[in-house]
Amino acid sequence: MARSFSVRAQPGFTTVALICFFLLYLPIATLVVYAFNAGTSIAIWEGFSLRWFHQAWNNSQVIDASIRSVQIATAAAILATICATMAALATTRTRAYRGLTAKYAFINAPLMVPEIVTAVALLIVFSRVKIATGYSGLGYLILAHTAFCIPFAYLPIRARLEAMDLSLETAAADLYATRWQAFRRVTLPLLWPGILAGLMLAFVISLDDVVITEFVKSGGQDTLPTYMLGQLRRVVTPEMNAISTVFLAISILIVTVFFFISRKRDV
């Protein structure tokens, strides 16, 4: 067609979309800029400085909370990914068997329940268990994080499995590979990008959690997000911006890697 009429265009849509993208990034950009402010205000610019990054780095509470966050996220992401991989293997590429639909529903259940309700439920149960056993370590937080990370890890792994060609494993079985050999040498290498994507997703989800952690943690078990939530009640200095900036940078890095892994569609 030689006319300049596009069937895809809708009036005003592009403008609204571009405004949305602009507004989506404006607050984040402001936050990052003021992290480099020399003054103590998060609104008045007084020149460039790295003092708030120094201050955050020397704040032992921030460092402790960061280390704890990473510990919990690592443990929860690994556990969730192992569980999710096994569950995905058990629920894909099969005829419908008894309880399959129930399994789907159950695995995805943590996504349906409002976070605050799960948080309150875990507070009730874990406070009893803490008294009964006397144990009040990080185990509770790791268990809670693992539970809500499982559906997120499950998603990309299941998607990968369903897109995979079953004939390769059949070929392996025809060549007298045992079930384990076929899994180890054929299924697992093909599934690896999905597992990696699931692991990263679970890690980011665990790292970001505020509500459930806030209710489950014992005294002195602040993670970085719950520490920040506590600080927001006080007078906020650009130190918060500096911490947020580093946190954002790490998240964006992980998400970028995840994005490119999950976009690769060669099986």
C-alpha 267/C-alpha 189 separation (Å) is: 10
Contact of 190 with 93, CB cutoff 8 Å: no
Least distance (Å) between residue 198 CB and other proteins: 12
Least distance (Å) between residue 28 CB and other proteins: 5
Least distance (Å) between residue 176 CB and other proteins: 18
C-alpha 215/C-alpha 34 separation (Å) is: 31
Which one, 82 or 138, has the nearer CB to other proteins?
82
Q: Does 56 bind other proteins (CB under 8 A)?
A: no
C-alpha 62/C-alpha 58 separation (Å) is: 8
For other proteins, the binding residue among 13, 57, 135, 192 (CB under 8 A) is: 13
Q: Does 257 bind other proteins (CB under 8 A)?
A: no
C-alpha 214/C-alpha 196 separation (Å) is: 28
Q: Does 177 bind other proteins (CB under 8 A)?
A: no
C-alpha 153/C-alpha 133 separation (Å) is: 31
Q: Does 39 bind other proteins (CB under 8 A)?
A: no
Alpha helices in 175-266 (DSSP H): 179-182, 188-208, 211-216, 224-231, 238-263
Least distance (Å) between residue 171 CB and other proteins: 19
For other proteins, the binding residue among 38, 138, 248, 261 (CB under 8 A) is: 248
The token pair at 36 is: 């480099």
C-alpha 122/C-alpha 131 separation (Å) is: 14
Contact of 94 with 100, CB cutoff 8 Å: yes
Q: Does 204 bind other proteins (CB under 8 A)?
A: yes
Using the contact rule CB under 8 A, the part of the chain among 23-31, 48-56, 181-189, 190-198 near other proteins is: 23-31
Q: Which of residues 93-132 bind other proteins (CB under 8 A)?
A: 94, 97-99, 103, 106-107, 109-110, 112-125, 127
3-state secondary structure of 37: strand
Which one, 135 or 259, has the nearer CB to other proteins?
259
Using the contact rule CB under 8 A, the part of the chain among 53-61, 158-166, 191-199, 206-214 near other proteins is: 206-214
Least distance (Å) between residue 30 CB and other proteins: 6
